[in-house]
Amino acid sequence: MPGFAKRLSGVELAASVQMTIKARELKAAGKPVITLTTGEPNFDSPPHAVEAAHQAALHGDTKYPPQDGTRALKQAIQRKFRRDSNLDYALDEIIVSNGGKQCLFNAIMATVDPGDEVVIPVPSWIAYAQMVQLCEATPVLVTCPQNNGFKPRPEDLDAAITPRTKWLILNNPNNPTGACCSAEEIAAIAAVMRRHPHVWIMSDDMYEHLVFDGFRFHTFAEVAPDLKDRTLTLTGVSKTYAMTGWRVGYAGGPKPLIKAMTVVQGQATAGISTVGQAAAAAALDGPQDGVEEQIVAYKRRRDVAVDMLNAARGISCHKPEGAFYVFPNVAGCLGKTSTGGRVLHTDEDVCLALLEEQYVATVHGAAYHMSPFLRISTATADDELVEGLKRIQTFCEGLR
């Protein structure tokens, strides 16, 4: 058989996907599996967005789209950036992609060469480091400790930047921890970045609206407008509007970067679904009641999850500012043996034992570059979440 590209050697299927597949296999075998792995809202897409897609199709809006997005959607994105973050982007400073993930991929592919470095605060979404490795560059992982709320310390970022650094990637609220930096904390990071004018800054704001307890979200370019000319502000409709399957992400940034990203996209997928773009424009411009409904539900679930996990023997759980994840520390479970006889040496052992013995699917923290933790998604029905958490408590009680 012919061989494969060497660049694939360091890239593998995401751990969250792997655990979801294992859960599906067990469920197909008749096991009562509860899946707490997927970062996907359990809400329906807004009815007005669905209707906009329907009308677009009925009116013949089914031809090849512009590679960087339709004018109507880019204008809606302009309004969104102004409304939410006081940011002004010209139409040629905006790109629409197949999900936020393609925006990220376009940016890295357009700027990163073999031997370059990308600074990534961790824990972090799995895709960041793997995309960097796919470009034969080096992800430089900067630990964000639990005692700092899983947020990056400016001095640690400063120490990680070298002449070979191309990007700093920031994700607020964060996947997998739900941590979110305040305007003051972002300003402190901006002060560091002013000392390193050769570095691009990526602000991944995919969970921007999902914040709790009166926390006010700010994006990087809003806090540091003088750095806007080297900042890419990235988000999408997947999480805020429960539109994961529509595959619509977008980014605003300096014109030369957006142009380069469009070139990459043109050779990968070209433009994205016209009806999906019509739906996204309607979601951005239309009623926002559904967003508020989600925020209320996610806050309720976060509170339940944090309380129940902190009541489980051997687990401690930080209360996050946003997103729909909790990231409990399972250090107190390590070195023990489960009722099924598995010795728990790592968080991955805990994760696998939970799935095999209690039929609860989670993701181990090592997949996000920090152990010993688990990522638990609260984007599931309340009753399923509570049942899953009860099973985790039962699992912990049985450890010896």
Residues of the chain with pLDDT under 50: none
Query: Could you give all domains of the chain from N- to C-terminal order, each with its CATH number?
Result: 6-44+290-397 (3.90.1150.10), 61-285 (3.40.640.10)
Report pLDDT for 157: 98
∠304-344-301 over CA atoms, to 5°?
10
According to DSSP, the residues that pair with 165 across neighbouring strands are: 117
Residue listed under structure tokens 């479970």: 333
Pairing relation of β-strands 249-252 and 231-236?
antiparallel
Report pLDDT for 384: 96
Report pLDDT for 19: 80
Cα–Cα dist 152/67, whole Å: 35
Residue listed under structure tokens 């619509």: 248
DSSP line for 210-234: -B-TT-----HHHH-GGGGGGEEEE
Report pLDDT for 14: 74
Query: Sign of the C-alpha dihedral, residues 258, 262, 263, 268?
Result: positive
Report pLDDT for 27: 85
Cα–Cα dist 38/385, whole Å: 12
